[in-house]
Amino acid sequence: MHRWIMFRKVSLLIWISCSFLSVNAQQTDSCKVIFTLLDAKHKEGIPNVHTITTIQDKKRSKYTSSKGEVVFTVLKGTNLQYQCYHPLYDSISGTKKIKTGEDTLYYELIMVANRVRELRDVVVKPPGRPDTVFQSNRLSVEDFVMLRDGRLVLLTYPKQLRKGSELVIFDGVEMTGTFNIPDRALKLVRDYRGNAHVVCENNVFGIQVKSNEILVSTIEKDYFFKYVAPIVDTQSIHMYLSNFNPDYPEFHYFVYDQLDSTYRKIAQIKDDLMMELYRSEYKWVDIRTKMWAKKKEHETGIDAEIWVGANFFTQSIYYKELYAPLFAKNDTVYVFDYYKDKLVRYNKEGNKLDSTAIYHHYHPKSSGWKKELIQDSKTGNMYAVFDRDGYQYIGWVNPLTGEINEQVRLAFRYAHHIQIHDNFVYYVYRPFETAQKKFLYKERLPYHFGPSNVPLGSETLIETGK
Positions of E strands within 9-165: 30-39, 50-55, 58-63, 69-75, 79-86, 89-97, 104-111, 123-124, 131-134, 140-146, 152-157
* 3-state SS, residue 307: helix
pLDDT per residue as tens digits for the range 185-216: 999 988 877 788 999 998 899 998 887 788 88
pTM: 0.81
- Please give the mean pLDDT across all residues of the chain: 86
Measured CA to CA, the distance from residue 258 to residue 239 in angstroms comes to 7
CA atoms of 123 and 104, how far apart (whole Å): 44
- In tens, the pLDDT along 360-415 reads 999 999 999 989 999 998 999 999 999 999 999 999 999 999 999 999 999 999 99
Q: What is the pLDDT of residue 74?
A: 86
Question: Could you give all domains of the chain from N- to C-terminal order, each with its CATH number?
Answer: 30-117 (2.60.40.1120)
Interatomic CA distance for residues 253 and 110, integer angstroms = 36
Closest Cα to residue 436, out of 133, 131, 135? Answer: 135
Alpha-carbon span 98 to 207, nearest angstrom: 64
